Amino acid sequence: MDAHQRGRVRVERGQKRIRVYLHGEVVADTRAPLLVWESPHYPAYYIPVADVRAQLTDSGDTDRSPSRGTATILDVTAGGRTAAGAALRYADSPIGELRDAVRLDWDAMDEWLEEDEPVYTHPRDPYSRVDILASSRHVRVELDGVCLAESDGAHILFETGLPPRFYLPLTALRRDLLRPSDTVTHCPYKGSAAYWSVEVNGTVHDDLVWIYRTPLPESQKIAGMACFFNEAVDLIIDGERWERPRTPFS
């Protein structure tokens, strides 16, 4: 695959058909999306202007990017309603591939499809992989000297660019230390996660453990299992204390 890099931005032609919906109408339908890494963690989709079906109207405002140039901010009209400022176009970008493409605001749209399947939160990175393996390693989770969980029946989730995540049976957790949380996060590979906070020695540590009760099909092996942030707890694996990793979630 051909890729173009300028500064911290990488541009690559995607291989999936992408459809975007708003107010019950198709905003865009393309077989030639651009994957644009504006940040190092995951790409954004840019849609060729010719494949945008919704009405795009200049809002009169602009947005400046040091790498992509100056963008015209566009209103997107579909289904008789308008999403204000929901698109950007860098018509004079120093990155040539972006000039004839539009970046639709992910959250302003109602639905994104990769081929015929919904995708949530952000596009899947073609260079990220998720493997989930059953493991008999002895896993102990501690915080401030208190054991939070202990198990010989973990499932380890290996995801490109992140430390291994140890998903444990709920029976392995100190449930008396868990406190309900209203937090919900979304992952394009795993689905929607619910959270608990943990109270240790009178201190509540917010959103320290999560669970995917109904994960996406490719992540079914972690359904109903709980995982702690390696970054915020002490993991003892087969008797060896692991160093806490530094990640974007630290």
In a structure prediction context, what are the per-residue pLDDT tens digits for the chain, which is 250 residues long? 344 444 578 999 999 999 999 999 999 999 999 999 998 788 999 999 999 999 999 999 999 999 999 999 999 999 899 999 999 999 999 999 999 999 999 999 999 999 999 999 999 999 999 999 999 999 999 999 999 999 999 999 999 989 999 999 999 999 999 999 999 999 999 999 999 999 999 999 999 999 999 999 999 999 999 999 999 999 999 999 999 999 888 8
pLDDT of residue 247: 87
Long-range pairs, 241-248, Cβ under 8 A, ≥24: 245/163, 247/162, 247/163, 248/41
CA 139 to chain centre: 26
**What's the predicted TM-score (pTM) here?**
0.83
Taking Cα atoms as reference points, which of 203, 200, 185 lies closest to residue 147?
200
Taking Cα atoms as reference points, which of 155, 163, 150 lies closest to residue 237?
150
pLDDT of residue 7: 52
Task: Please tell me the distance from the alpha carbon of residue 143 to that of residue 164, in angstroms, as a whole number.
Answer: 18
pLDDT of residue 150: 98
Dihedrals φ, ψ of 178, to 5°?
Answer: -85, 140
- Residue 87 makes CB contacts below 8 A (sequence gap 6+) with 56, 73, 74, 75, 76, 102, 103, 104, 105
Taking Cα atoms as reference points, which of 15, 50, 48 lies closest to residue 124?
15
Task: Please tell me the distance from the alpha carbon of residue 110 to that of residue 22, in angstroms, as a whole number.
Answer: 5
Domains and CATH numbers, the chain: 3-118 (2.170.150.40), 130-241 (2.170.150.40)
Task: Please tell me the distance from the alpha carbon of residue 223 to that of residue 212, in angstroms, as a whole number.
Answer: 6
Task: Quick: pLDDT tens for 80-128.
Answer: 999 999 999 999 999 999 999 999 999 999 999 999 999 999 999 999 9
Q: Which of 143-155 are b and which e, b meaning 16 or more Cβ less than 10 Å from the residue's Cβ? A: beeeebbebebbb
